[in-house]
Structure 1
Amino acid sequence: MTEHSDAPLIDSAVEASLEKQQASDNENQRNRKLLSRQVARYLIQNPTFFAENMELLENIQLPRESGKTVSLMTHQTNLLRERNIEMRQRLDQLLQNARENDQLFLHSRRLVLALLEARTVAEAGDALLKSFKQDFKVEVTALTLFGPLPGSGKQLGDVRSSARTSAETAIGSILRNGRTVCGTLRPTETAYLFGKHADRVASAAVVPLADQLGVLAVGSSDPNHYRSSLDTLFLSYIGEILERLLPNLLVRS
């Protein structure tokens, strides 16, 4: 009977001891957190502390992903080295972008001057196609003007001509949109815009020219080259130049 009557007392004592130990652990954890905040606050308020106590830098250890520890000084050195590499990479990218922008400007300037010097639609079309192919590495370029054209409209060279009604039937949605569009076109649209070169085009960018003048199209064999998210500022810019240039050249034809 004595053994059975003492068991609850022993269990209660063990439970009390465990609760006391848990409370002590919680108190120690709170104290450590409080001490950590105090130390952090002190270091923030005294940024020259380690400069005045350099010997501590080698004694403070920091864990690494590999499981090893390194001194604070070594960690700081590694961190600065990584940041230096990152900054060099950013600088290299900025320099590369600057070189590409310079090249784009030179090619654009040469194209615009060639278009301004053109005396016929054929010369303007030749300058456009040559520049897009050689300077801008465009695989397929097609410039189509809608008839009836001013003047005779016969001396067009590589510039294609089409009745406006045919354009409405084939690419009516593109024309009504009125803005430069990029992506994968329907087979009928590709066939109309690129003619005999349609089989080489898997994606395209199309620029409707204002006042029902025509349409400029560029194509690529890569279906992802002319994505819907592609920046079309340059093509729209060339389109605006053609809108101002071609009507005067057509009158001379």
Structure 2
Amino acid sequence: MEINTALETDEQLSAEQVVNYLLDNPDFFAQHPNLVEKIAIPHIQKGSVSLVELQSEQLRKKVRSLNHKLSQLITIAKKNEEIYRIYADLNIRILKCTSMDDLTFVLEEVIQENLQLASVSLMPFKGAHALPEIQRRLFIEKRFKRDKHFFGRLSDHERKLLFADQDANSVALLLLGDQGELGILAIGSKDPSHFNPDMDTLLISQLQQFLSILLPKILSY
């Protein structure tokens, strides 16, 4: 249907008909370029603008939005690369430790200073600083029913048991050993939402594996 014919036969051509026609004929303005500059569109700041000006402005907004999203993705990628490198260095340093004191120092230095998390505590199930048997069973039954890790919040009693007076508003708990027989690594954040059940576990699971390799040597299992 020609648009001129429609105008001749229906003086009350509806906006919906015009919209449908333009959608069915996307090359209409390419075939009638003289109309483009004549069409005035209301604009909040500028009063009225041509169709070309409006399209140009919309395109600029899309470009700015895409540039902003690209910048965000680049920032996230750089941050993720930095975190990956920190964990990779930590895993290598862990394997070089020869005592619990060495291991504790490395964990605190990297996790608190480099990763800027609030607290870290390594609670072995054997040795002078072992977690009491009853507490060990309670943690395993409550926090490690399905997995060898837990992300979220603890009760006040649990938090004080693992972290004493350190900040730990959200935590990552890692059960160490093939059968969970070696101990618990507890990492705390001031941010209540930092550690959550939906977070990625790749890097922290690798840390879990490296500690599970080292601890039997240090604790003489």
| Shorter-normalised TM range | 0.7 to 0.9
| Structure having the higher Rg | 1
Same amino acid, percent of matched pairs: 23
- For residue 221 of structure 1, report the CA deviation from its aligned partner: 3.3
Residue among 95, 105, 108 paired with 2:87: 108
**Are 2:25 and 1:42 equivalent residues in the alignment?**
yes
Matches within 5 A, 1:1-253: 28-29=11-12, 34=17, 37-44=20-27, 48-49=30-31, 53=33, 55-64=34-43, 68-147=47-126, 153=127, 160-169=129-138, 172-194=141-163, 196-197=164-165, 200-210=167-177, 211=179, 212-251=181-220
Structure 2 CA distance for partners of 1:32 and 1:235, relative to 1, 3 Å: closer
- For residue 79 of structure 1, report the CA deviation from its aligned partner: 0.8
- Greater CA deviation, 220-229 or 120-129? 220-229
Cα distance in 1, alignment partners of residues 80 and 190 from structure 2: 25
CA displacement, residues 216-253 of structure 1 (integer Å, 9 cap, x when unaligned) = 1111333333344443433222112211221123229x
- For residue 116 of structure 1, report the CA deviation from its aligned partner: 1.8
- For residue 31 of structure 1, report the CA deviation from its aligned partner: 6.9
Consecutive unaligned residues in structure 2, runs of 5 or more: 1-9
- For residue 170 of structure 1, report the CA deviation from its aligned partner: 5.4
- For residue 131 of structure 1, report the CA deviation from its aligned partner: 0.7
User: Are the equivalent residues in 1 in contact too, given 2:95–2:210 (CA < 8 A)?
Assistant: no
Structure 2 length normalisation: TM-score?
Answer: 0.80
- Greater CA deviation, 203-212 or 77-86? 203-212
Structure 2 CA distance for partners of 1:29 and 1:244, relative to 1, 3 Å: farther
- For residue 94 of structure 1, report the CA deviation from its aligned partner: 1.7
SS at match of 1:176: coil
Following TM superposition, the consecutive aligned residue runs of length 4 or more in structure 1 with deviations greater than 4 angstroms are 30-36
Cα distance in 1, alignment partners of residues 183 and 37 from structure 2: 74
Letter in 2 for 1:191: K
Consecutive unaligned residues in structure 1, runs of 5 or more: 1-26, 148-152, 155-159
- For residue 129 of structure 1, report the CA deviation from its aligned partner: 1.8
The structure with more helix, counted as a fraction of residues: 1
Structure 2 CA distance for partners of 1:69 and 1:188, relative to 1, 3 Å: same
Letter in 2 for 1:73: V
Aligned length: 211
Structure 1 length normalisation: TM-score?
Answer: 0.71
- Counterpart in 1 of 2:6? none
Letter in 1 for 2:99: T
